[in-house]
């Protein structure tokens, strides 16, 4: 006869859901490892969110100069 599984307590269940949200499993060198998931804002990667929503002043203040030329629009130097 097989041993029956016990149900998780509510605290254990919430802790498990939290771990699933924070981490994902990958295979590296033939072994399964746990790594942190990338940060997301509204379901979009953080870099893509900044690229879509930041203005040139914010980009300059935070040192993201490589995105400034793309976002200048009609004010870009000729």
**Does residue 53 lie within any of the structural domains?**
yes
**Does residue 46 lie within any of the structural domains?**
yes
What would the DSSP string read from start to end of 10-77? HHHHHHHHHHHHHEEEEEETTEEEEEEPPPEETTEEHHHHHHHH--HHHHHHTT-GGGHHHH-GGG--
pLDDT at 2: 87
Residue 35 banded pLDDT, cuts 50, 70, 90: very high
- Per the structure, the complete domain to which residue 44 belongs is given by 40-73
The domain total for the chain is 1
Residue 76 banded pLDDT, cuts 50, 70, 90: low
Nearest-angstrom CA–CA distance, 40 and 45? 5
Burial of 73 (0-12, 13-18, 19+ CB in 10 A): exposed
State the average pLDDT over residues 5-20.
Answer: 94
Tell me how far apart the terminal alpha carbons of the chain are, to the nearest angstrom.
79
How high does pLDDT run on average in the chain?
85
């Amino acid at each position: 006869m097989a041993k029956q599984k016990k149900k998780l307590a509510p605290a254990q269940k919430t802790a498990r859901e939290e771990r699933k949200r924070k981490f994902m499993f990958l295979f590296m060198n033939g072994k399964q490892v746990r790594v942190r998931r990338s940060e997301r804002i509204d379901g979009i990667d953080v870099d893509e969110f900044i690229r879509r929503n930041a203005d040139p002043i914010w980009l300059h203040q935070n040192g993201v100069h490589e995105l400034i030329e793309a976002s200048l629009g009609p004010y870009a130097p000729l």
